[in-house]
Structure 1
Amino acid sequence: MSGVLSFGGSAEAYTQEVPPPPSQLTPPQSGQGQLIQTREIDVTGDGKPEMVSLVGLKSDMNSPYYDKLFISVVGQGQAQVVIPLEGGYNPKMDFCDFIHDKLPQIYMTSDTGGSGGFTSNYIYSLKNNVPTEIPMPEPLHVKATFENNYKVKMKIEETGKSYTLDIADRKEAYEQFGMYNQGKIVKPIIVNVDAYSLLKPVDVDRDGFCELKGVQRITGIANADTLGYVTSVWRWHKGQWKLKKAAVTQTLMTSMVRVPSPEDED
């Protein structure tokens, strides 16, 4: 559902003192906004569905970018809750019980639009109509280095497990770049392991509780040189995220890596 309506808010979640009647379950008034998504679902635990709406503000209506995003929660006989969020592209809400309190929390994600393909992600609990942000798990810490014979050695610090990627399919580009000479490293380059490019709800155990699956991209001599991905699955346990599993997957080169020129490095 989409449309144009009035909306506004401060930098922090807030509630309206006087709850609106059931016939007026709409986002608050103040400033032009666009209704992106809405759903009726009980997120407060009062046994009655609330109207949960995702609303965006744009300075340019022809642009897909939302300068600001808001979540509005309106229930019968309850004060309205407004949660301001950072702007982004392609915003979307999902609902799942992450923290095992037998209520769905609100999960919201949007693309940042950067070249790294990063996303902004939020989880909010509205139990008892009180907005509480659930922190996201930190990205995995990964040590990675190029080795002789076109190899990348990696170690995930949180698990202690090591992995080796065979990057011989990129031999021509890496030799041209001057990083390798007949399989030996002559120009050391840092292997980058990015923050999350994806962090999405998954019900791994199919038990009605959601985990979070994280994806971190591994890049080589250029941002377009994707070597593989570090994946992780996180489960909420005793008030914090616990790592359930982690792995490294390799990406084969489907097209020739663009070799950066010396000017690119300056």
Structure 2
Amino acid sequence: MFRKIAKTVLHSAVISLFVGCLSLWGMGFAMAEENEVLPPPGPNATQGQLLQTREIDVTGDGKLDTVSLVGTKMDSSSPYYAKLFIVVSGEGQNQVVIPLEGGYGPQMMFCDFNGNKLPEIYVSAETGGSGGLSYYYLYSLKDNVPTAIPLPDPLHVTATFKNNYVVKLKLKETGKSYKIDIKEKKADYDQFGVYKDGKVVKPIIVDVNPYGLLQPIDVERDGVCEFRGVQRITGIANADTIGYVNSIWKWKDGKWVLKGSSITKTLQPSHAGHH
């Protein structure tokens, strides 16, 4: 019991020290080792905030590590975090601090993606733009060495507008084609000049957004996570959603392999689970 209390107190002290350092950086101060060249101090960041923390072994030494997500704000009244940090500390380990870009509603999750029996650290934060996009980060801390794991590339789609308000969409990566009916958008597409009397007059190039959702999901229920990706397809305007590109990715032999894909008119419900 005493050890548990002491460990909690020590962790609180470590986080407090880290947060204090962030505050000093915000005021234009920083400590550095001899001959170390520091970047210019950032804008006046307010004091860092502990957003999430979890006791979990991410280094593989068999001991629980304390993994925390810390954020700093430019404006304390705003929900936007200007910077995010992953902080990993553990018994007998040097503390690791990983800086990330900021965002809204940051979340930290843990799952084994590469099958090495160790959970990786996954962080997402919304950009706040009208496209509903987010920043995503995946890190391995095996042997207490932070290693960024690349994320799967978004899929590519080409579109052909057909008569009677039908769009034929083709996934470049698989060669498969899908048809989506857009008759409910008839008035908008007539007004924009794409269709006249149901016939194609001026076809447009559709846009495929980056991942609006990149979600850990254990498809095979084997304790190893895949990624479920969702990309929005837009037509005459960003608000004009034609459909969604759905993908399932699995890490194999050092790269992401596409295990499944589809294009749907509506956003499919998720049955994902994460740790």
Q: What TM-score comes out, normalization by structure 1 length?
A: 0.84
- Give 2:176's aligned residue: 161
Residue-by-residue CA offset, 1:18-54 (whole Å, 9 max, x unaligned): xxx9442233241220010000000001111111000
* Aligned partners of 1:146 and 1:190 also within 8 Å: no
Deviation of residue 191 (structure 1)?
1.1
Q: Determine if contact 1:145/1:191 at 8 Å carries over to the other structure.
A: no
Q: Secondary structure at the match of 1:169?
A: helix
Correspondence for 1:190:
205
C-alpha separation between the residues in 1 aligned to 2:159 and 2:194? 16
Displacement of 1:176 after TM fit?
Answer: 2.2
Q: Which residue of 2 aligns with 1:99?
A: 114
CA distance in 1, matches of 2:251, 2:54: 25
Which residue type is aligned with residue 263 of structure 2? V
- The one of 79, 94, 98 aligned to 1:64: 79
Q: Which residue of 1 aligns with 2:138?
A: 123
- % identical aligned pairs: 63
What amino acid does structure 2 have at the position aligned with 1:203?
D
SS where residue 114 of structure 1 aligns? coil
Instruction: Judging by fraction of residues, say which structure has more strand.
Output: 1
Aligned equivalents of 1:133 and 1:140: distance in 2?
Answer: 21
Structure 1 residue aligned with 2:42: none
Distance 2:227 2:77 in 1: 33
Aligned counterparts of 1:223 and 1:217: Cα–Cα separation in 2: 10
Cα distance in 2, alignment partners of residues 174 and 158 from structure 1? 28
- Of the three residues 138, 142, 165, the one matched with 1:150 is 165
Using the alignment, how far apart are the partners of 1:79 and 1:159 within structure 2?
45
Report the counterpart of residue 252 of structure 2 in structure 1.
Answer: 237
Which contiguous aligned blocks of 4+ residues in structure 1 show a shift greater than 4 angstroms? none
> Which one of the candidate residues 97, 119, 126 is aligned to 1:82?
97
How far did 1:146 drift? 2.1
In structure 1, the residue matched to 2:232 is: 217
Secondary structure at the aligned position of 1:56 is classed as strand
User: What's 1:24 paired with?
Assistant: 10
Structure possessing the higher relative contact order (Cα contacts under 8 Å, 6 or more residues apart): 1
CA offsets per residue over residues 165-212 of structure 1, 9 Å max, x none? 111121122112222101112222211111111101000111100000
Contact in 2 for aligned 1:109/1:121 (Cα 8 Å): yes
Kept in 2: contact 1:197–1:216 (CA 8 A): yes
Question: More helix per residue: 1 or 2?
Answer: 2
| Structure 2: gaps of 5 or more residues | 1-5, 24-46, 268-275
Please identify, of 40-49 and 180-189, the stretch whose mean Cα deviation from structure 2 is larger.
180-189
